[in-house]
Amino acid sequence: KQKEVTTEPERQPRVFVLDFDGDIKASDTDPLRRSITAVLSVADPERDEVVVRLESGGGLVHSYGLAAAQLDRIRSKGVPLTACVDKVAASGGYMMACVADRIIASPFAILGSIGVVAQLPNFHRFLKKNDVDFEVLTAGEHKRTMTVFGENTDKGRQKFLEDLEDTHVLFKEYVGERRPAVDISAVANGDIWFGKRALDVQLIDEIKTSDEYLIEACDRADVVSVAYQRKRTLPEKLGLATSAALEHTVWRVLSAFRNQKIQ
């Protein structure tokens, strides 16, 4: 018999939604990288899109550099990438956002802060006052340019400033390559811009909340939220159960005490 040929109906385009809530160490990078790997294994560059809802005020250079590199994986595969910023994407957060093909932000979202900062206390005078010696032994002229407990020198400070400036240059180059329409010399001074002002200097492409964008996307595509959750170990599960039971017990004791007091 002749085999019956069946054709599958054409599927809807898909919008994959990823979330990144950044702290100073960009701790969300590992879940993000795993989610991106999963999405890239099924995404069609011709039809699908990735949306990252991004919230971060920045943090460690190397940590946010890795997080931004994860988003670069999406662009290198040719999958359209949109960054939605509802509250803040500054410093390292903006480094991530600028990777996207389009940046959408709410009217008062904070963006920019294209600069580098480093600060540390120094207790050398305190230790000296109390006759405490602190020695730093290094091999290599620039192995330790600034120290918390030792005496900092002008030469060490100069080298440290040079490193900061070089990091700033790399940051500006990174943004300039991904946002060529932006006048880097005008925006890379550490200033921040609220959404509407950021649009004026082309740090973003549109004023809109992530909710508006995703609701509109539902009319043209299947919107799928993607998240990575690590399977908890048995001790972790027992710890959570114990914590919940303790919280419930405390709540009951407080409720009983409150009722007694009212009576």
The three state secondary structure string of the chain is CCCCCCCCCCCCCEEEEEEEECCCCCCCHHHHHHHHHHHHCCCCCCCCEEEEEEEECCCCHHHHHHHHHHHHHHHHCCCCEEEEECCEEECHHHHHHCCCCEEEECCCCEEECCCCCCCCCCCHHHHHHCCCCCCCCCCCCCCCCCCCCCCCCHHHHHHHHHHHHHHHHHHHHHHHHHCCCCCHHHHCCCCEEEHHHHHHCCCCCEECCHHHHHHHHCCCCEEEECCCCCCCCHHHHHHHHHHHHHHHHHHHHHHHHHHHHHC
Domain layout of the chain by residue ranges: 12-113+191-244, 115-178
Q: What is the mean pLDDT of the chain?
A: 89
pLDDT by residue (tens digit) across 50-106?
999 999 999 999 999 999 999 999 999 999 999 999 999 999 999 999 999 999 999
Contact 202, 181 (CB under 8 A): yes
**pLDDT-based confidence at residue 262 (cuts at 50, 70, 90):** very low
Q: Is 22's pLDDT higher than 90?
A: yes
pLDDT at site 203? 97
**pLDDT-based confidence at residue 260 (cuts at 50, 70, 90):** low
Structure-block tokens of residue 52: 């990252």
Q: Measuring CA to CA, which residue among 33, 14, 31, 136 is closest to residue 80?
A: 14
pTM of this structure: 0.81
Range in 16-30, 98-112, 138-152 the model is least confident about: 138-152
pLDDT at site 263? 47
Distance CA 222, CA 16 (A): 8
**pLDDT-based confidence at residue 254 (cuts at 50, 70, 90):** low
Q: What percent of the chain has pLDDT over 90?
A: 65
Distance CA 182, CA 33 (A): 28
Q: Is 202's pLDDT higher than 90?
A: yes
131 vs 4, which has greater pLDDT? 131
pLDDT by residue (tens digit) across 123-142?
888 988 898 988 888 888 88
Catalytic residue among 35, 56, 63, 91: 91
Give mean pLDDT, residues 138-167: 88
Q: Is 160's pLDDT higher than 70?
A: yes
| CATH number corresponding to 12-113+191-244 | 3.90.226.10
pLDDT at site 256? 64
Catalytic residue among 1, 3, 129, 143: 143
Q: Is 143 a catalytic residue?
A: yes
pLDDT at site 144? 81
Q: Is 91 a catalytic residue?
A: yes
Contact 181, 175 (CB under 8 A): no
Query: What are residue 206's DSSP bridge partners?
Result: 104
